[in-house]
Copies of this chain bind each other. A is one copy, B any other.
């Protein structure tokens, strides 16, 4: 291989490695093995909420199974294959609309994945959360799921889901 060919080969390899890296999400899985669902930012809207105990604004999105279920009112229980994404931001006052609360920094993105067999020990739901813009997996080991499941027990009458799909025409 000539020096020129070696140079071209090396440049090509670097370019391809760069492309491969850009295509990878490079987000580590949650400690319970759940992978970050792909393309969740493109999912459709199910609802919104505002929590005043921890000053956070939320958008709840759903994958196509979830959206179909929400629009048909088929949400108690949600069908297998449902994935709900909750995007959570620290709230802040709008800079020039004093009575409006709007998102500041992203706090985390969290997910509920319905698979009644795989997650039978937690009422059919798998839980996972990634923190902030760096998308750091939440929890030090798989036991973090107990924390999620415990809180969602308050919503056991609605299939452990707090979100009720927002009214839409």
Decide: A100 near B49, CB < 8 A? Known: A167-B89, A169-B109. Answer: yes
- Contact in complex: A41, B168 (CB < 8 Å): yes
Contacts of A47 in B (CB 8 A): 102-103
Interface size in chain A (residues, C-beta < 8 A): 43
- Main SS at interface, chain A: strand
| Contact B133 A101, beta carbon cutoff 8 Å | no
Closest B residue by C-beta to A107: B167
Provide the residues of chain B in CB contact with A58, threshold 8 Å. Answer: 48
Cα A96 to Cα B57 in complex, Å, equals: 18
Determine whether A51 belongs to the interface, using a CB cutoff of 8 Å to chain B.
yes
B51 touches A99 (CB 8 A): yes
Known: A42-B44, A45-B61, A106-B169. A94 touches B53 (CB 8 A): no
Known: A41-B168, A59-B166, A134-B169. 14 other contacts (CB 8 A): A41-B45, A41-B169, A47-B102, A48-B57, A49-B100, A49-B101, A50-B50, A50-B91, A53-B99, A89-B166, A94-B162, A96-B162, A103-B167, A106-B168
Could you list 27 examples of A-B contacts with CB < 8 Å? A41-B44, A41-B168, A45-B45, A45-B59, A45-B61, A45-B87, A47-B102, A47-B103, A48-B48, A48-B102, A48-B103, A49-B102, A49-B103, A50-B91, A50-B100, A52-B100, A53-B99, A59-B59, A87-B166, A87-B168, A89-B166, A96-B155, A97-B155, A100-B162, A103-B167, A106-B169, A134-B169
